[in-house]
Amino acid sequence: MTTTLVAPGPPATTRRAPLALLALALGAFGIGLTEFVIVGLLGVIGTDLNVSIPTAGLLVSGYAAGVAIGAPLMTAAGTRISRKTMLLALMGIFVAGNLLSALAPGYELLMTGRIIAALTHGAFFGIGSIVAAGMVAPDRKASAIALMFTGLTLANVAGVPLGTWLGQLFGWRATFWAVTAVGVAALAALALLVPYQPRAESASLRTQLAVFARVQVWLALLITALGFGAVFAAFTFFQPILTQVTGLSEAAVPWLLVVFGLGLFAGNIIGGRLADRALMRTLTGALGALALVLLVFGFTAHNAAGAAFTIFALGATGFAMVPAVQMRVLETAGRESPLASAANISAFNIGIAVASWLGGTAIEHGLGLAAPLWIGAGLAAAALAVALLSGALERRA
């Protein structure tokens, strides 16, 4: 009898990784879709619910505030149960929030549904990144995380334009029904495809909070809030700017959202590669370019071709700074506090909430639909100033 020795195959977790990563990417797609698709529907929602454009714009601010609050709270709660169980719970809450939005008879319940869905955003990406990295070999962890985040990118490139088109054709509730369906599909995929991963023992809360005594951590979070707020000061009001200032039809808005999505996709890839080589130079360069693009947008918004080009540039410059600022937070906080990553997601969304509110307030006070573009340019310039200050302090240390 001859015994044949067979080399053991890869662990079950590794074999299941490709499908499990797609399940995580589907969840990321749904979450990205529900956050951003509202931008193309402000006019439709405003007309249907009899509220002004600035009031409808608060649906963006409300979601962002929900993310800012939910990111650290849900992340802390997630340390007490297994990661897979937490992901399933988060996706269940996400589905419930979007279902409430789809059924909402009025503005107040729509806002409530948005906030409920938003509570899951930060924790899903934080815990999902750990799960993705834990399913693959050490030399593939970054690629696994990147694959999960392609869901968020695709939400902007394809999901938001399609969701906007769907809402314009069948009413905004149809879009939320579609997002709910994506959430249900993601919940099923996560349950079936993601392997069990036990909860990890983490540093004490005191140790995790200690990093917030560092000035550089707060400066990094401030750069995040100001820089991403600059992008959303403009992005929140794309629909009314493009239809009422540029003079385009409602049907053209989804296509220009595709252009914006392609810009952010390109900017995210280029920004990540440049940040690996020169982090602070990439960050300051992207913020300076972002401020310039927003200033130019104030003039090109009156021309269809100019607006399209500037929207692509806005997406590219706005998301070129994202990998750099995420790296900056990790660089200043180290790995001692998972709460620092959650705080950075909160900072992104605090910036979105404040910038959307500022833009809406400016419009409401008669400063015109282009006012959010000037506000965005100012926020980007402020972020650049903080980044330069942070770099100067680091060189002196």
Residues 197 and 220 in one domain: no
Asked if the structure places residue 9 within a domain, the reply is no
pLDDT tens, 268-310? 778 877 877 888 999 999 999 999 999 999 899 899 999 999 9
Asked if the structure places residue 140 within a domain, the reply is yes
Asked if the structure places residue 3 within a domain, the reply is no
Q: Which pTM value belongs to this model? A: 0.75
Residues 254 and 356 in one domain: yes
Residues 274 and 347 in one domain: yes
**How confident is the model at residue 81, as a pLDDT?**
80
Residues 197 and 285 in one domain: no
| Residue 64 structural domain | 15-201
Residues 167 and 209 in one domain: no
Residues 196 and 222 in one domain: no
Residues 35 and 135 in one domain: yes
**How confident is the model at residue 1, as a pLDDT?**
39
Q: Which of 173, 201, 229 is the last residue of a domain?
A: 201
Residues 307 and 210 in one domain: yes
Residues 134 and 244 in one domain: no
CATH number at residue 363: 1.20.1250.20
Asked if the structure places residue 2 within a domain, the reply is no
User: Into how many domains does the chain fold?
Assistant: 2
**How confident is the model at residue 31, as a pLDDT?**
93
> CA nearest 104: which of 141, 66, 51?
51
pLDDT tens, 99-157? 999 999 999 999 999 999 999 998 888 778 778 777 777 656 655 666 777 787 788 77
Residues 214 and 276 in one domain: yes
Asked if the structure places residue 243 within a domain, the reply is yes
**How confident is the model at residue 119, as a pLDDT?**
93
**How confident is the model at residue 146, as a pLDDT?**
62
Asked if the structure places residue 5 within a domain, the reply is no
Asked if the structure places residue 8 within a domain, the reply is no
**How confident is the model at residue 257, as a pLDDT?**
82
Residues 245 and 308 in one domain: yes
Asked if the structure places residue 7 within a domain, the reply is no
Q: What residue ranges of the chain have pLDDT lower than 50? A: 1-12, 336
